[in-house]
Structure 1
């Protein structure tokens, strides 16, 4: 199949806008990494009209997918962890074109995983974890156990990803395999939730108690990025925080995370009078120790 694709990627390689091209081959029939395709052709470009452009090809009994991705989109995926396959493609795919060692340099950065990238990713995962945990707990207390189960599964997944990032690794598609080696305690919690023969209510009750302890132990590392930004000035209103270029990635989870950290005495609030009667502006700052 690669011989058939060569004219396609060679044409792209000749374009000055192309930064790098790599090929990912299907490892086995069960592997999800190539989205059921035999071959993935990833082409990274400096700029493009659409952030992602895809084409599918077929030859005899084989099929291939071409992904043309802008540099900006690629960096966003890597920062947010919203496309985990792309990390594996970058790290293990075969490079067929590499302008000024663009892909090699990116691989080095991915392997080194500098703390700047890690602290943002940990903050985002922690915010998602808090959202899922609190929503799940609310469903549990309302005795909506299936909805609570759905949320606690997702919260454990975010906890697992947070643990992997905290240990200096990128979460892979098979994140539970990573967690089993890195944080077996979290893996055992997941197994207990899924495989236990206890009633769903009892499983959930135990999981929420255990999760609360694991979340509490990660408050400092999970809130590090947000606290660092809050420390830049004496006080912030919520719109200022929401508009901050690095906190926009937290999206709708930012407000929930802030309220959680207020409850845990990490963030403090200050009320400032408005023109309205007994209505106050609410400002946020780092809790003074």
Structure 2
């Protein structure tokens, strides 16, 4: 189908805003990598009025999708990890146009995964993990086992992605295939949760016991980014933490993550007086 798509991407390549074009072909009969399409044209632009633009094409029994993203949108997805297909497309897709080696540099960055970017990604992932894990534990204590199961599955997925980051790699769509090779202990937890013949209550009970250690052992590394940011000054209000540029990507998980780190002793509470004799301001500081 590439011959049919060539005039389309050649036209886009002539646009000075186009930084790179990647062609992704379906590798399996039903491919999650290409959203079931036979071909994907993945185009990155320097700027656009629309950060995301999609168009579909068809020819006989074949179908193709055109996706145009700004480099700013792509960076956001890569930082937040909210679109894992991007990593697969960038690494495994075929480059058909590359202005000033933009894609070459981006792929090299993905392979090298600089430590600063990795720490931020691990922090965001650990924040999501802590929230889902704590909520799952609460549901379990309330005997809401199906809700607990749903949350612990999500928390295991975040734990799996964290393990991939620890190995200097980016999580892909089939993250459990990666984790089976990189960290068999996490894969075993996941496998036992979904395939064990024990009752759901017993499976969850055993998993919480095992997960506590795995999460505790990763807390220092998972919290490294946020603790480094908070070390920039002595005390913080929660509003100042929300407004700190590097921490904005933690989004709705930020306050739960802060409280998790308070509970673990990584962040300390500093009380300051208010106009009332009974209520105190609550400030945060890292443990020296």
Determine the structure 2 residue equivalent to 1:55. Answer: 55
Question: If the length of structure 1 is used for normalisation, what is the TM-score?
Answer: 0.98
Deviations 1:1-52 (A, max 9, x none): 2111111111111111110011000001132100000000011000011110
Deviations 1:87-137 (A, max 9, x none): 110111111110000001100000011111100000001000000000000
Q: Aligned partners of 2:45 and 2:210: how far apart in 1?
A: 45
Q: Aligned partners of 1:273 and 1:72: how far apart in 2?
A: 43
TM-aligned CA deviation for residue 277 of structure 1: 3.6
Determine the structure 2 residue equivalent to 1:134. Answer: 134
Determine the structure 2 residue equivalent to 1:180. Answer: 180
SS of 1:118's equivalent in the other structure is: helix
Deviations 1:172-197 (A, max 9, x none): 11111111111100000001100111
- How much is the aligned-residue C-alpha RMSD, in angstroms? 0.8
Counterparts in 2 of 1:35-114, with a 5 A limit?
Answer: 35-114=35-114
Displaced runs of 4+ in structure 1, greater than 2 A? none
Q: Aligned partners of 2:92 and 2:201: how far apart in 1?
A: 43
Q: Is the 8 A contact 2:20 2:102 kept in 1?
A: yes
Determine the structure 1 residue equivalent to 2:218. Answer: 218
Q: Is the 8 A contact 2:129 2:158 kept in 1?
A: yes
TM-aligned CA deviation for residue 278 of structure 1: 1.5
Q: Aligned partners of 1:218 and 1:262: how far apart in 2?
A: 16
Q: Aligned partners of 1:249 and 1:194: how far apart in 2?
A: 31
Counterparts in 2 of 1:1-289, with a 5 A limit?
Answer: 1-288=1-288
TM-aligned CA deviation for residue 86 of structure 1: 0.6
Q: Is the 8 A contact 2:31 2:37 kept in 1?
A: no
Q: Aligned partners of 1:34 and 1:174: how far apart in 2?
A: 13
Q: Which runs of 5+ in 1 are unaligned?
A: none
TM-aligned CA deviation for residue 59 of structure 1: 0.7
Quick check: 28-37 or 133-142, which moved more? Answer: 28-37
SS of 1:234's equivalent in the other structure is: coil
Deviations 1:206-248 (A, max 9, x none): 1111111100000110000000001000011011111111111
Q: Aligned partners of 1:19 and 1:109: how far apart in 2?
A: 16
Q: Which runs of 5+ in 2 are unaligned?
A: none
